[in-house]
């Protein structure tokens, strides 16, 4: 039994971590910290936990909290953890950070896309990028885990085997991604009101979305060179779900069979990645509430391209679920523990 | 480990039973029967089960199927089970019927409201009405369990203690209920298309809805006399959820305190009923995906009435979840087994 | 051609007034005033008006603005207009106020339910309650028009003829009402985020909603005595629409025919009220975007009650549309001018 | 005043034509024909028209109907009109066909993508493709007008000026498009039930969608050569709206300024096309209920591509609205007549 704490417990990702951990047999939640809701009953904020959690939100006093647990999840805004974390704290407990602070190895790239000065660049090197299926070995020993973003988890997992095996030209990648609204967070913003978002769709962050360099860095590792992609996210009127449609030019000799083999090679034994194969199209609802990523594809011989489609639940595999999966790897639990929920339809 | 089968596995309630049973430690699913989808892969119909279930839909041959299992769930249209069930089959295995066939003790009432001739009236008497928290003792020994409807579970549980304790005039009950669209089933009907249902609300079955006599019968048991209520259901644009708002005249001396005590008396130790108390209003989302019923109320001294509000997930506590809860009671499992999911928000 | 201005033009009701007036042949919009958005392009806030309106939001300087127009619409928070209006301003131009400031004749009642001190009680007496179909004669000459609320317009119109003709016991009225989310306004509140509101329903303002005394006052006029009703509003996940389901005890001798006749007597010649008759159930979508109120009913002889169902678009007949209808009456336009839009389905 | 008839009046596009024509000052609706609903009151099917239309659906007897009107709108399944139309009928009245039957000049291409034998290929040549802003001259004299599809109108209009002016490589075009559910029609299909579609997204028709050759043909005219594009449509949970995100490689020397100039050159004077310019992102809600197409773009110098974004209401500019616009051009009405509705928000 390990002790865990959550900072930023009142955001949607924090709430989801709590939900998943309550179903985990090996953890004890020690604190739920929140800047905005300090002192309030957690179940007054999230009525789903009524009678299930009897804790008040505590203050996010990092040093003190770090003494009391084995691992802290930080579901906090960009710049928070990098502003307060230090070697001394890292010696006390391990961290799973759901922000982007330690995802990108090149500080200049981080600061350019996020427009934030990085306050603890000396810790970036040791941070492990927590794409569970790709970096499992490194994750096991991590003290500081940088949990991937929702768009990035989906976009990278969907393209990784093809980029790694040279079946597509990575620089030809055009990624169009769709996100449910929970990805926009729980802040009180007019733009996220029901009456602004429902019955509409819009692109956003066009050519400038901050998940772009994260995708490029990881897919760059897959093929061993720097690459550049087009990434265009959109907001659509549903709660949960990421859907990435990726179109890329096939390289000479690439076929549907070879693509299937590449997926099989990398993910054939992965429980949380379900390969639909050529022609079967994923639907976001079939992953909702679960830690699955569903991937399908279709070769378009007419134009010499392939269309890859990946989908996942942005709050589970795209945030809290992968964070718990990474915790399982870090602490030697069964990787599925706490993550056995079957997608809920409808 | 018991063996179970599901007939009508491809409807939404059937699908939900399968989802819940996969997370139950004491059952083995033996068959998934379906009239319409016989021979098809179950996970081709419900992609959420991709790689999780590898079974084909079988034919609903009741006699034969009854030999192979300890209990059969029938999530079938009205009139199906009563048309094929017989004493000989009931001796082979137990039944949990999610249709209305055995819910109403008076055959004439059943036939009047359902406009179907009842083909096995001799079995009605022994059937146990499966409102778990109210009929737990009888449920334990039931061979034939009549699982309550979604509107009825919510409407009855919300009013039961007040009717039983004489705090409201039962004949003054005005029940307005709201249902998510999954309650309308998976049939290919124009009326349930997204483009017909979304962004709209309508009442239906006004003064004639078939859950009315079921509510009246059970609340009649509570107060020991025949009663009549007004019940008006509405369809609203969301997947899951029942919300019952019940307005009734307070009897002499009834107060908020006495109402709280009545709820406490009947449900104080019930895990699946959460009492929000005077003034706290339930929200359907806080029960979504779970087996909880959340109940709140507000006394309106100005008009001498009380407003009761109950909510639950129509596919869980309103159908599949209560069915599994009843199975747990019938077979001596922990009543929560398979039903530990925490409501998922958002 | 008359000159009009709108104060509070950036809320949803204000936006809707602008949309309707742009299609009105007899008005010229002189200003769009907004406290929060002063100086901004109106079409930057509401992109639907891109290239259709080229105006900046002006400051809400009432005295000055009143000099420039024939009528001002105030779609402003409770207490705003009553805090700044005075006889001198009323002599300059006429006012159509969409807030509740002048709806209730009894100041004490207003202050009790709204918890605001009324700053210009001397103007209440002359204010005309703008329920167009009921008060048409008085509206014609009004200087200060109190435009009814959305719940109230729907609730009152649906019950008025039956109360007036003595067909139901008004004190037995139980009104359950449902509202789309646009009724909650455009303020940046967590409670109205898509991720909080979608896929859920909740009651609110139970026993204390401020539209209650407005309903009671107007229905009291209908039957010539003070009455008290139960009114329970709910929030449901759709943009627009009010749906009122009203259950009441029939008086001796009341029949479906007499109810039909009563509706016919009051509304038979009203274009904007559509009588569906006994048994046909209204659906909110069939009024969306239009100024119609659709009303149906069903007598329930079994319990001696009638169920009335009314629906309208909360931003049109429930706010901006009725305001324009009242302007048409006040200034002698064809009552339908600017309001000819047919409900848009789907 | 011209006389018009509609065949296929009970589908969503047919219903929308009726709604628009009722607001048109120059037309008289003579018949509403429907295979499935013959003999039924139109307003019983579409309650929005209650008390506004008093017509029964007639049988779709083309020859006879053609005698009675100046123009017939056919909002019918693929293959219907081409199966019954003949020169003799075309001499009686003009046709605006909302199906794909006469959109594609090459019969083999039509038959390959639609998998239907074309029964009147001799009429294809004279048919005019009704992309109003591009083909206005030819439309004026058309007897047989092929009204474009929703995806195609949006996809073509968004890219046309850049392809025509050589600012992008047309063969590099990757079009990802999103559609509201009304585009899927009113047929009773499980796949379009609320409970299947809501809270989910999926791609469909991947690499095989039948709008692909239509886009390629028209953009091919723009640049004077055959081109091939990648087109991937998706279904998202909202009623109305098409959103096309098109990514293409910039040609040498192409800049944001040149792109703006190209748009201005082709659409600067077009009322129904609103150019948002570089960096302003369209939102589908800002066109809802109107005939507008909103177009924005963003040059991505980092990768040498441009992202174009276009949006429109699939039932208006994507179907019925453009059909009425074309009728206006064909019969010399003001092009905006019947199409003045301002987009409705929220």
Task: Give the residue-averaged pLDDT of A54-58.
Answer: 98
Give the list of residues 6+ apart from residue D339 with CB closer than 8 angstroms, or none. D20, D272, D290, D291, D316, D321, D324, D325, D328
pLDDT digits (tens, 9 = 90+) for A233-267: 999 999 999 999 999 999 999 999 999 999 999 99
Helices and strands: H and E segment counts in chain B: 12, 13
CA–CA dist C320, C314 (Å, integer) = 9
Task: Give the residue-averaged pLDDT of B179-194.
Answer: 97
pLDDT class for A126, splitting at 50, 70, 90?
Answer: very high
In this structure, are residues B40 and B72 in contact, taking their beta carbons and an 8 Å threshold? no
Task: Give the residue-averaged pLDDT of B54-65.
Answer: 96
CA C2 distance to own-chain centroid: 23
Q: Measure in Å the smallest separation between the Cα of A275 and chain D Cα atoms.
A: 16
| Catalytic residue numbers of C, as ranges | 150
Select from C198, C202, C240 the Cβ nearest to the Cβ of B282. C202
CA–CA dist C97, C82 (Å, integer) = 10
With 0-12 / 13-18 / 19 or more C-beta atoms within 10 angstroms meaning exposed / middle / buried, residue A113 is middle
Q: Which residue of C has its CA nearest to B247?
A: C174
Residues of chain D short of pLDDT 70, as ranges, are none
Contacts of D14 in chain B (CB under 8 A): none
Q: Given an 8 Å threshold on Cβ–Cβ distance, is C195 in contact with A182?
A: yes
Q: Which residues of A269-284 are buried (b: 16+ CB within 10 A; e: fewer)?
A: ebbbbbbbebebbbbb
pLDDT digits (tens, 9 = 90+) for A277-300: 999 999 999 999 999 999 999 999
pLDDT digits (tens, 9 = 90+) for A190-211: 999 999 999 999 999 999 999 9
Run of H or E residues at B244? strand B242-249
Q: Are D2-148+317-331 and D151-314 the same fold in CATH?
A: no
- Tokens 């005219």 found at: D221
Q: Which residue of A has its CA nearest to B315?
A: A346
Q: Given an 8 Å threshold on Cβ–Cβ distance, is D239 in contact with B198?
A: yes
pLDDT class for B289, splitting at 50, 70, 90?
Answer: very high
pLDDT value of position D334: 98
pLDDT value of position C228: 98
pLDDT class for A141, splitting at 50, 70, 90?
Answer: very high
Q: Which residues of C245-269 are buried (b: 16+ CB within 10 A; e: fewer)?
A: bbbbbbbeebebebbeebbeebbee
pLDDT value of position A172: 98
Select from C184, C188, C198 the Cβ nearest to the Cβ of A190. C188
Q: Measure in Å the smallest separation between the Cα of B245 and chain A Cα atoms.
A: 19
pLDDT digits (tens, 9 = 90+) for B110-142: 999 999 999 999 999 999 999 999 999 999 999
- Interior angle at CA D213, CA D209 and CA D217, nearest 5: 155
Contacts of A238 in chain C (CB under 8 A): 198
Q: Residue A78 CB: number of other CB atoms within 10 A?
A: 16
Q: Where are the alpha helices (DSSP H) in chain B?
A: 12-22, 42-45, 62-66, 80-84, 87-90, 107-114, 132-140, 150-164, 194-197, 212-223, 256-267, 321-331
| B218 token code pair | 């059970």
Fold for D2-148+317-331, please state it: Rossmann fold (3.40.50)
pLDDT value of position B34: 97
In this structure, are residues D232 and D249 in contact, taking their beta carbons and an 8 Å threshold? no
Residue spans per domain, chain C? 2-148+317-331, 151-314
In this structure, are residues C36 and C206 in contact, taking their beta carbons and an 8 Å threshold? no
pLDDT digits (tens, 9 = 90+) for C232-259: 999 999 999 999 999 999 999 999 999 9
Q: What are phi and psi of B128, to 5 degrees?
A: -105, 130
In this structure, are residues D237 and D200 in contact, taking their beta carbons and an 8 Å threshold? yes
pLDDT digits (tens, 9 = 90+) for B198-242: 999 999 999 999 999 999 999 999 999 999 999 999 999 999 999
Q: Given an 8 Å threshold on Cβ–Cβ distance, is A241 in contact with D201?
A: yes
pLDDT value of position B323: 98
CA–CA dist A329, A322 (Å, integer) = 10
Q: What are phi and psi of C312, to 5 degrees?
A: -160, 170
Q: Given an 8 Å threshold on Cβ–Cβ distance, is D192 in contact with B189?
A: no
Chain mean pLDDT for chain A = 98
CA–CA dist D111, D101 (Å, integer) = 10
Select from A12, A182, A345 the Cβ nearest to the Cβ of B48. A345
Contacts of A23 in chain B (CB under 8 A): 340-342
| Catalytic residue numbers of A, as ranges | 150
Q: Which residues of B303-341 are buried (b: 16+ CB within 10 A; e: fewer)?
A: bebbbbbbbbbbbbbbbbbbbbbbbbbbbebebebbbeb
Contacts of B237 in chain D (CB under 8 A): 194, 198
| Domain B151-314 -> CATH class | alpha beta
Contacts of A190 in chain C (CB under 8 A): 186-188
Chain mean pLDDT for chain C = 98
pLDDT digits (tens, 9 = 90+) for C271-323: 999 999 999 999 999 999 999 999 999 999 999 999 999 999 999 999 999 99
pLDDT value of position D174: 98
Q: What are phi and psi of D89, to 5 degrees?
A: -75, -40
Q: Where are the alpha helices (DSSP H) in B104-248?
A: 107-114, 132-140, 150-164, 194-197, 212-223
Q: Measure in Å the smallest separation between the Cα of D27 and chain B Cα atoms.
A: 28
Q: Given an 8 Å threshold on Cβ–Cβ distance, is D48 in contact with C239?
A: no
pLDDT value of position B336: 98
For D15-80, what is the HEC assignment? HHHHHHHHCCCCEEEEEEECCCCCCCEHHHHCHHHCCCCCCECECCCHHHHHCCCCEEEECCCCCH
| Catalytic residue numbers of B, as ranges | 150
């Amino acid at each position: 039994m390990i002790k865990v704490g959550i900072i930023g417990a009142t955001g949607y990702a924090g709430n989801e971590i709590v939900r998943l951990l309550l179903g985990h047999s090996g953890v004890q939640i020690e604190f739920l910290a929140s800047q905005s809701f300090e002192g309030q009953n957690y179940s007054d904020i999230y009525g789903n936990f009524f009678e299930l959690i009897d804790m008040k939100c505590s203050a996010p006093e990092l040093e003190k909290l770090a003494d009391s647990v084995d691992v802290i999840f930080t579901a906090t805004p960009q710049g928070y953890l990098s502003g307060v974390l230090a070697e001394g704290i890292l010696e006390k407990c391990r961290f799973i950070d759901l922000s982007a602070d330690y995802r990108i190895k090149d500080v200049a790239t981080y600061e350019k896309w996020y427009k934030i000065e990085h306050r603890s660049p000396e810790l970036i090197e040791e941070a492990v990028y927590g794409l569970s299926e790709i970096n499992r070995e490194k994750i096991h020993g991590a003290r500081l885990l940088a949990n991937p973003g929702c768009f990035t988890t989906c976009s990278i997992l969907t393209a990784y085997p093809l980029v790694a095996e040279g079946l597509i030209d990575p620089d030809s990648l055009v990624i169009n991604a769709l996100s449910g609204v929970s990805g926009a967070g729980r802040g009180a913003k007019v733009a996220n009101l029901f009456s602004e978002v429902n019955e509409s769709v819009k692109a956003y962050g066009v050519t400038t979305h901050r998940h772009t360099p994260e995708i490029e860095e990881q897919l760059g590792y897959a093929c061993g060179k720097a690459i550049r992609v087009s990434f265009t996210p959109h907001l659509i009127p549903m709660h949960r779900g990421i859907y990435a449609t990726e179109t890329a030019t096939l390289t000479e000799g690439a076929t549907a069979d070879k693509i299937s083999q590449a997926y099989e090679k990398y993910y054939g034994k992965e429980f949380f990645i379900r390969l639909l194969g050529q022609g079967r199209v994923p639907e976001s609802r079939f992953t909702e509430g679960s830690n699955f990523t569903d991937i399908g594809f279709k070769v378009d011989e007419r134009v010499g391209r392939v269309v890859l489609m990946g989908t996942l639940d942005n709050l589970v595999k795209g945030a809290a679920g992968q964070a718990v999966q990474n915790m399982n790897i870090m602490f030697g639990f069964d990787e599925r523990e706490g993550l056995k929920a079957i997608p809920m339809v409808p």
